[in-house]
Amino acid sequence: MTNQVDNVTIQIKYKDVEKTFSGNVEDAWVSINKFFLEFVPSFEIAGKLTLKIDLQKLAEDCEGIIAFSKEGANILIPRSKLTDNETLALWLLANYLGFQLGMIKSDVVSKEELQAKLGKDSKITSTRLGELIKTEMASRTADEKYRITTFSIVQMQKDILPRIKTKMNNI
């Protein structure tokens, strides 16, 4: 009789990580335990630290503030009730949401379009967009267009949209 060691091969796929363990049963078991003890908690922690957008919740939060028609995105709040930065952030948010919902073709907006929506001159629009970029509420694309950042969407859901809704109730 010969002492033959049976080897096993175990493949684990967890989210985007795939690991294969081979060896005798004891070595494979130790490797699997090590994987779960070391790697999985770090993935879960990273997942908790990742900003994520719940599109359905965002749409619900924007109800009564943003609406879409065949002409595109619309802001339902009177311009006089909003600051320039709130107005620009809402237009960027409307384009993001409309694009994600398949209602408009792009989530980026030109400075000229934003200037027209803001109703201010080019210098004021540029200054306000610069402020939004500096605070990481917006980003500029390579082709000189603007989009809202994930950070900004989260901030808008937490702070800005509730504040705007309060302003709406005072109309």
2 falls within a domain: no
Poorest-confidence range of 22-31, 101-110, 156-165? 22-31
**11 Cα distance to chain centroid:** 32
Same domain membership, residue 89 and residue 38 = no
162 lies in the same domain as 109: yes
| pLDDT of amino acid 87 | 96
In a shared domain, residues 118 and 143? yes
Are residue 67 and residue 134 in the same domain, yes or no?
A: yes
Which band of pLDDT confidence, cut at 50, 70 and 90, is reported for residue 168? confident
**62 pLDDT band (50/70/90 cuts)?**
very high
In this structure, are 137 and 68 located in the same domain?
yes
Q: 136: left (phi > 0), else alpha (psi -120 to 50), else beta?
A: left
Task: Kindly state whether residues 34 and 75 are assigned to the same domain.
Answer: no
Mean pLDDT of 131-151: 96
Q: Are residues 67 and 141 in the same domain?
A: yes
30 and 92 fall within a common domain = no
d(CA 165, CA 61) in angstroms, rounded, equals 9
Same-domain pairing of 161 and 123: yes
**Number of domains comprising the chain:** 2
Kindly state whether residue 141 falls inside one of the protein's structural domains. yes
- The pLDDT of residue 42: 75
Residue at 143 is within a domain = yes
E runs forming strands in 17-155: 17-24, 66-69, 72-75, 109-110, 138-140, 145-148
In this predicted structure, what is the pLDDT of residue 48?
A: 77
Residue 1 pLDDT greater than 70, yes or no: no
Q: Which CATH number do you get for residue 132?
A: 1.10.10.10
Kindly state whether residues 110 and 138 are assigned to the same domain. yes
Q: How does the average pLDDT of the chain come out, rounded?
A: 89
Beta bridge partners of 139: 147
Task: Give the residue-averaged pLDDT of 148-153.
Answer: 95
| pLDDT band, residue 3 (cuts 50/70/90) | low
Q: Give the residue-averaged pLDDT of 133-143.
A: 95
Q: Which domain holds residue 14?
A: 7-49
Q: 111-118 and 84-100 helices cross at what angle (nearest 10)? A: 120
